[in-house]
Every structure is written in C-alpha cells, then in structure tokens.
C-alpha cells in the first residue's frame, strides 16, 4: 500500500520529514509559500490548497509555533472532516488545532525531541517523539515514528510546557554555555571552543553513562569556595557572565546539599 502524507511548511522540521518519507517511498505532498523542485516531492501553493487537502488524509503542520493557530483556522475553512492533523511544537498543546477538530478532523501533536538547525532527514532517526492527541492521530503518529526508526511516548498536555523547558535546558542552554566557553577561550588563547572537544565529549559520555548527578565535577561540586570566589572576581569584567556563573553555582551547591551528597 502506498503511504501518502501532506506536509504544511517546508522548513527545517517539515523539510526533514518530507525528505525522510520520500526516501522511504511515501508519496509526499508539501504546501509551502516557496515551492521548489526537490526530486520526489510534489509542491502545492496556497491557491491549490483544496487539491492538496483532497490528495491526503494525514497531515503534519510544521510551520513555526506562532503561525500554527492561524494555519489551523485557515485550513478549517476547507473540507477536513475525518482527516488527521498533527503539529510538531513542543510547547503548544494539540488543542491549538481546535478549529480543525470543530470541523470533524482528528488532532494531535507530535514533538521530535531533537534539534534541527537545518533540513536533515537523518536527524529523525533513533530519537524520541512526545505525543498527545486522540486515538486516530495516535495510530498515525505511531506509524510515522516507526517509519523513521524512532520511539514514541505519551505526554500529558498540561505538563507539556515543562517538558519543553527540560528540552531547552538539555540542548539550547548547553549550547549557550559553549558559546560562553568559546568567548573566554578566544580571549585567553589562540584557540577556541574546538580545543574543548575532548572535555565536552567526556562530559556528555559520562552524563549518559553514569547519569548527570554522578558525572558532575568542578569547584561547585567540591564546594571549593576559594576557587569560586576567584572565578567571580575575574568575571566582574563581564557582568552577565558573572550572574550566570553565580546562579548555576548556587544551583549546584543547593542541589547537592539537599541531597546530602
């Protein structure tokens, strides 16, 4: 049986899905403001939306978060009864697609716990997806996740924002720390962040192998207040970095104190 999907938005996530499913012989239709001629993908513009909706029963809404609701409202003006729609935001509940539900469509959200700095189908493999929504969308979400060789788990919509904050800590904030490390390394040496590769790799490998609690080392973990004070004195030249250092050090001290570790 030929599998077909309609993808709304050809950005980093939508494009990654389009390419991954095309490579797995799905029929892939994409609705976008900027149709191109990527091989094996059929592009539709908004003038062809009715045909786009007729061609597919299952859809991914992969526009940026701030545009999801208006996209759902716009699509709900066309026949959508019985169709399945999933958006891919980690912070928004599936209920943002209510306009589609009120027209008889099935709705859900499927968030890839991954970072996509570019369109790259390989980033969808061996990852976790957080799902919430109705039964019909769950069936489709499971098929999709299986197809890209990943795993799915259910998330309570009320806990979704906190779940998304956890992902921000794990990925975006880790990257922000590397930006700071890079700035300081450039200031004190001819090198840069790349010299920290073994340090970063070992830190990550240890955190994954032992768990982040056991993997943590450094002055705050050792409660070495003399070194901490020295760092803070030097960082006075960079008030924002001093603040960040102080807040994170405070977290580490309190966290392990409470654990009695």
Q: Is 32 helix (H, G, I), strand (E, B) or coil?
A: coil
- Asked whether position 17 contacts ligand NAP by CB under 6 A, the answer is no
Smallest distance from ligand NAP to CB 48, Å = 13
For 222, which DSSP code? T
CB of 156 to ligand NAP, least distance (A): 18
Contacts 24+ apart (CB under 8 A), 183-186: 184/241
Token pair in block for residue 67: 């545009």
Nearest to ligand NAP of 114, 249 (CB atom)? 114
- Please, which residue, 84 or 86, has the CB nearer to ligand NAP? 86
Shortest reach from residue 3's CB to ligand NAP, in Å: 21
Report the nearest approach of ligand NAP to the CB of residue 62 (Å). Answer: 5
Nearer to ligand NAP among residue 174 and residue 199 (C-beta) = 174
Shortest separation between residue 73's beta carbon and ligand NAP, angstroms: 13
H/E run at residue 110: strand 106-112
> Rounded CA gap, 231 and 90, in Å?
36
Element (H, E) at 85: strand 84-87
What's the closest the beta carbon of residue 55 comes to ligand NAP, in angstroms?
17
Evaluate whether 79 touches 51 at the Cβ level (below 8 Å): no
Question: How many residues in total does the chain contain?
Answer: 261
End-to-end CA distance of the chain, in Å?
57
How far out from the chain centre does Cα 163 lie?
11
The distance of closest approach from Cβ of residue 253 to ligand NAP in the complex, given in angstroms and rounded to an integer, is: 32
Binding region for ligand NAP (CB under 6 A) out of 64-72, 94-102, 130-138, 224-232: 64-72
Is residue 97 involved in binding ligand NAP (CB under 6 A)?
no
CB 67 within 8 A of CB 88: no
233 scored as a contact of ligand NAP (CB under 6 A): no
Q: Give yes or no for residue 130 binding ligand NAP (CB under 6 A).
A: no
Q: Judged by CB under 6 A, does residue 95 bind ligand NAP?
A: no
Only segment of 63-71, 176-184, 225-233, 252-260 that touches ligand NAP (CB under 6 A): 63-71
Contact (CB, 8 A) for 227 and 219: yes
Q: Closest CB to ligand NAP among 116 and 193? A: 116
Which of the 8 DSSP states describes residue 173? Answer: I
| Angle made by CA atoms 63, 65, 69, in degrees to the nearest 5 | 85
Q: How many CA atoms lie within 13 A of 44 on its CB side?
A: 20
Q: Which of 4, 11, 121, 163 binds ligand NAP (CB under 6 A)?
A: 11
Interface pick for ligand NAP out of 25, 95, 102, 115 (rule CB under 6 A): 115
Which residues of the chain form contacts with ligand NAP (CB under 6 A)? 9-14, 32-34, 62-65, 67, 88-90, 111-112, 114-116
């Amino acid at each position: 049986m030929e599998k077909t999907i309609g993808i709304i938005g050809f950005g980093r996530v939508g494009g990654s899905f389009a390419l991954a499913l095309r490579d797995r012989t799905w029929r892939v239709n994409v609705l976008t403001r900027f149709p191109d001629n990527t091989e094996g993908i059929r592009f539709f513009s908004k003038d062809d939306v009715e045909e786009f909706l007729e061609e597919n029963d299952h859809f991914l809404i992969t526009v940026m978060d701030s545009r999801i609701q208006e996209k759902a409202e716009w699509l709900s003006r066309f026949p959508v009864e019985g169709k399945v729609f999933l958006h891919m935001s980690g912070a928004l509940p599936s209920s943002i697609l209510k306009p589609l539900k009120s027209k008889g469509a099935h709705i859900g959200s499927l968030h890839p716990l991954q970072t996509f700095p570019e369109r790259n189908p390989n980033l969808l493999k061996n990852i976790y997806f957080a799902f919430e929504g109705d039964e019909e969308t769950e069936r489709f979400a499971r098929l999709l996740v299986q197809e890209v060789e990943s795993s799915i788990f259910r998330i309570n919509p009320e806990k979704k924002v906190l779940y998304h904050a956890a992902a921000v800590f794990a990925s975006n904030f880790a990257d922000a720390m590397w930006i700071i490390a890079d700035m300081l390394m450039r200031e004190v040496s001819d090198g840069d962040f790349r010299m920290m590769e073994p340090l970063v790799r070992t830190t990550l490998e240890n955190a994954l192998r032992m768990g982040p609690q056991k993997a943590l080392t450094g002055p705050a973990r050792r409660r070495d207040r003399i070194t901490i004070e020295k760092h803070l004195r030097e960082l006075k030249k960079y008030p924002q970095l001093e603040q960040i250092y102080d807040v994170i050090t405070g977290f580490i001290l309190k966290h392990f104190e409470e654990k009695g570790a």
